[in-house]
Amino acid sequence: MIRRRLLMLIPTVLGVVTLVFAFIHLVPGDPVDVMLGETANVSDKAALRTELGLDRTVPAQYAAYISGLTTGDMGRSFAYRKPVAELIVARLPATLELAGLSLVIALLVAVPIGVVTAVKKGTLTDRVGLTVSMVGVSMPNFWLGPLLIMFFSIKLGVLPVSGRDGFASLILPAITLGTGLAAILSRMLRSSLLDVMGAQYLQAARARGVSEARVIWVHALRNAALPVITILGLQLGSLFSGAIITEAVFAWPGIGTLLLTAIQSRDYPLVQGCVLVISLGYVAANLLADLAYRWADPRVRK
């Protein structure tokens, strides 16, 4: 299964690269004009276009890019004049830090809310939990981020406004990015738990004298986690793409801000490299979800 998924990675990545290459070349604007200005000499523009390889036809540029990818060469950035891989490697740790802490926050919030609302179905606690999760789903990152900045950074002055300077500067971006994921996971976990709460094997466990806490947190939660794992695999990949907006709000120096800068400067190789890394993150997240699903459900392994 793993080998098959890894083989499927090749056409998936190729399709993503092809679409991004086509779309970025359809975006209005010339990177040479952006770099030199529209008033630059025609000869200077022609020389730079030749240096960047933009004087070739689009199919020739595409063939050269794919050929470079087969050897691990993602090209050179037009704006930074450095290898794309070097720029991405320098920014990747910041994005991984943000995505990792966001995932931890989402799980720490979603699991207790999902379990408690399922156990307390129909009570005030359940209604409050559902309301909180609905609010979390409804709040976009570009609104929640500035709201947190205004309260915790400007009014209270306890957390940094932006940048990457220690753990404190990571808290607000991670909360912003993890809130929506926590809301989705808590609602999914509640629904899954309600489906298994009346199962016979749980009744049998109770009859054997197993404590109610162990019945819920061990036996019921493991089986209820199966659909949650599937959703988590899809949402985990979205942390990388969702980090683009969050990084822009908090000036977090990750892949997201690098991608936005590349788009603004029409830096074709850098845009393609960033999107390629994000797409690989999606595929890796779904592969990890498949592995977790096989671990949680022995029937899948068989």
33-42 pLDDT, tens digit each: 777 776 777 7
Query: What's the pTM value of the predicted model, to 2 decimals?
Result: 0.82
68-90 pLDDT, tens digit each: 888 888 888 888 888 888 999 99
pLDDT score of 128 more than 80: yes
- Cα–Cα nearest to 229, from 139, 144, 138, 290: 290
In the chain, the percentage of residues whose pLDDT exceeds 90 is 5
Cβ neighbors of 154 (< 8 A, separation 6 or more) are: 161
State the average pLDDT for the chain: 82
| 300 vs 276, residue with greater confidence | 276
- The length of the chain is 302
Distance of CA 32 to the CA centre of its chain: 32
pLDDT score of 2: 64
pLDDT score of 296: 63
Q: What homologous superfamily does CATH list for 93-264?
A: MetI-like (1.10.3720.10)
- Secondary structure of residue 83 in the 3-state scheme: strand
pLDDT score of 13: 78
- Cα–Cα nearest to 280, from 3, 16, 7, 40: 16
Q: Residue 255 is encoded by which pair of tokens?
A: 């892949």
Concatenated DSSP letters of 224-261: HHHHHHHHHHHHHHHHHHHHHHHHHHHT--SHHHHHHH
pLDDT score of 299: 57
Cβ atoms within 10 Å, residue 143: 12
The span from the first CA to the last CA of the chain, in angstroms, equals 12
Hey, where are the domains in the chain?
A: 93-264
